[in-house]
Chain A
Amino acid sequence: MDLNYSPEELAFRDEVRGWLAKNLPRELKEKVENYEHLSKEDLLRWHRILADKGWVAPAWPKEWGGTGWNVVQRYLFEEELGYAGGPPLIPFGLSMCAPVLLQFGSDAQKKRFLPRIFRGEDFWCQGYSEPGSGSDLASLKTKAVRQGDHYVVNGQKIWTTLAHYADWIFCLVRTDSGEKRQEGISFLLIDMKTPGITIRPLILMDGAHEVNEVFFDDVKVPAENLVHQEGKGWTVAKYLLGYERMNTGRIGASKRELEKLKDFSKNMSDIRFRDRLSRLEVELMALEITNLRFLDRMRRTGQPPSADVSMLKIKGTEIQQGLTELAFDAMDPTASDEFSVALRKRYLSMRKTTIYAGSNEIQRNIISKMTLGL
């Protein structure tokens, strides 16, 4: 047992850290650190800098632009990105749609979409949740009816993150209303410019426009945009759940937030505050080592991480919320400077983390079923 990184791993980390120090634009870093709004241009600018370096999609196969790094290197890279204060890489194309196409897509689909995702030419969003189908996703009702060489889609998606930036949306749609509801679901790629699509903003409690409702009204989608077979959409969605998402804990970003919080709260003499901060720091240490243990196991067994990811999601989001809550509590209640205003909004906004991407209660259901066999 040796919890230290090898000299090769440390050299790799230093290479990434050094490159980030030179290439992460200061304006972007400052926006992230000050919790400012990131525009579509901001997100794409960072995406393209990484694409030019060849580091935007490390997990992809090399022939499509992947780096060939092992799981530990990929983890280190993602941790460094977060720690440096880089804008988030929007996952919908790079780490959701692309893995699905790589696993289930036709050659034509791969050739058409993957290079554009890599270069940031298409901005993707995810059409999963519906007004009546949140945690119970398989109850979704958005309908796709085959008519000749295309599908006609009718229905509504909700909580669609960055749909207002998106060129494309990948959707789970119902192609069959038979008894086994999972078997009637298909995975469709839809061009957001298609007539019949309407986007309506949903403003969240921090005032930000991040999520949307997306309405489909007789939207014609070419049948060639079906991924895998008709009725196999649930298999595709489940594959994505088990896909290697080893940065679910966002440890690099939380480390940066912890350092900032320590500095921000250094004048707090309250012993109760100090203990809350220490407990959170210990939680973050425990999460990091747990994450490394899972990585080490993956590297040795070659097994995908399965329900382990759920544990990382639960603890990672609890820590992100905890850090924000402590920073909020450390803030002078009367402060009205720009950072304090942003921090208040941040506190409101961070409540989403334990809800999105499968609420933490759903994650507990997954562990209960998959790991514990209940």
Chain B
Amino acid sequence: MNFDYSEEQQLLADSLRRYLQAQYSFEQRKKVLDGSPGAWAKFAEMGLLALPLSPDYGGFGGGAVDLMGVMEAFGEALVVEPYLATVIASRLVQRTGSAAQKSALLPAVAEGKLKMAFAHTEAAARYDLGAVKCAARKSGDHWVIEGEKKSVQLADKLVVSARTPKGVALFLADPVKGEPRRSLDGFAEADLVFSGTKAEALEGGLAEIEEATDFATALVCAEAVGAMKFSCDATLEYLKTRKQFGVPIGTFQALQHRIVDMYIAHEQAKSMACLACSKMDSAENAKERARAISAAKIKIADAARQVSQEAVQLHGGMGMSEEMKVSHAFRRLTVLSRQFGDADHHLARFAAL
């Protein structure tokens, strides 16, 4: 039993945190949201994009625990780069692609030259991974996709799920044009309509989508822990400095007990993120993996709601302000608590396992 990061994992997380503090501050992040180039090249230089990929294709062969510290740091800084989207899609290529497909894409991902996304979620599918209406049909030597995918992060290459006579399958496609927008928490995304879009088949289906979603959920748990840590720390600082009635408001017991409960929620969420990431790497079967992931997401969805809402409340009017990072952490935690399934979804899944 050991809850430490390895020396390598810790060094990477520390240097990433230092970089983000210096170069991805709240002010600098604002510029990224306004269209300035983000930190992608730096992420590639630090090896973050290569981290989950196989050494055969320029990667480091990392698992969920290896990415955990990275995601926590991203959560603290509220990073708005399509990192998770690229990790999910490139991992899917690694697990379901041919040698030629992998050689064509993965080294480019590792070097930071190719952003990827997984175009999967459709309207009204909510969190049902099998609810795919997009269809793929064979046309000569390639495939053609028809249908609409929702909220796909902007990328250079897509993995797309689509229905075939044999069930849900995975394909590679170039992105089609969509109307770009920012998600509630700041990511660049679009709804995409595929209309006779040319695609290449990958060798995977629902089982691979479930595995990829569990992996992504474990990472989202770690990211939420980082965003919760920021929210707790910022709120504690505010309680110590904001004065009313002539004293710091942190002297009031009504507020002390609430921030204590925020910290407890954060600690428990962190424990469950450890469970999710380590089971992702070590579970002996899909059921054991899914049970740990769903348990973690239940706790993290609840904790994210509690911590984000209380952080805003304890900041008073300032917590509502667009100018305060805590309101942006609120947006991120609100999205993370539902991403890949809210507490209700995972409660149903947990109980069924």
Contacts and interface: CB of A to CB of B under 8 A. Distances in A.
Nearest to B250: A374
B contact face: mostly helix, strand, loop, or mixed: helix
Contact of A290 (B6, B260, B271, B347): B271
16 contacts: A1-B277, A72-B1, A274-B351, A275-B347, A275-B351, A277-B351, A278-B298, A278-B347, A283-B268, A285-B299, A286-B269, A286-B272, A290-B271, A292-B3, A311-B264, A373-B240
Q: Which of B267, B270, B275, B282 has the most CB of A within 10 A?
A: B267
A61 to B, nearest CB: 25
Interface in A1-24: 1-6, 9
Q: How large is the interface on B (under 10, 10 to 19, 20 to 34, 35 or more residues)?
A: 35 or more
Contacts of B277: 1
Contacts of A367: 260, 263-264
Nearest to B64: A1
A196 B64 CA distance: 66
A372 B2 contact: no
Interface in B304-353: 344, 347, 350-351
B259 interface: yes
A290 B295 contact: no
B195 interface: no
B298 A372 contact: no
Interface residues of A, number: 38
Nearest to A361: B257
Interface in A88-137: none
A347 to B, nearest CB: 24
B268 A315 contact: yes
A293 interface: yes
Contacts of A296: 1-4
Given A278-B347, A365-B256, A3 B263 contact: no
A6 B268 contact: no
Contacts of B278: 1-3
Interface in B223-273: 236, 239-240, 250-251, 253, 256-257, 259-261, 263-264, 267-272
Interface of B: 1-6, 9, 65, 68, 236, 239-240, 250-251, 253, 256-257, 259-261, 263-264, 267-272, 274-275, 277-279, 282, 295, 298-299, 302, 344, 347, 350-351
Contacts of B4: 1, 296, 300
Contacts of B260: 364, 367-368, 372
A364 B265 CA distance: 13
Q: Which of B236, B256, B260 has the most CB of A within 10 A?
A: B260
A contact face: mostly helix, strand, loop, or mixed: helix
A286 B236 CA distance: 23
Nearest to A4: B1
A277 B298 CA distance: 12
B348 to A, nearest CB: 8
A279 interface: yes
Given A4-B282, A290-B267, A282 B1 contact: no
Contacts of B299: 282-283, 285-286
A20 to B, nearest CB: 21
A1 B257 contact: no
Contact of B256 (A274, A315, A374): A374
Given A292-B3, A364-B257, A365-B253, A314 B264 contact: yes
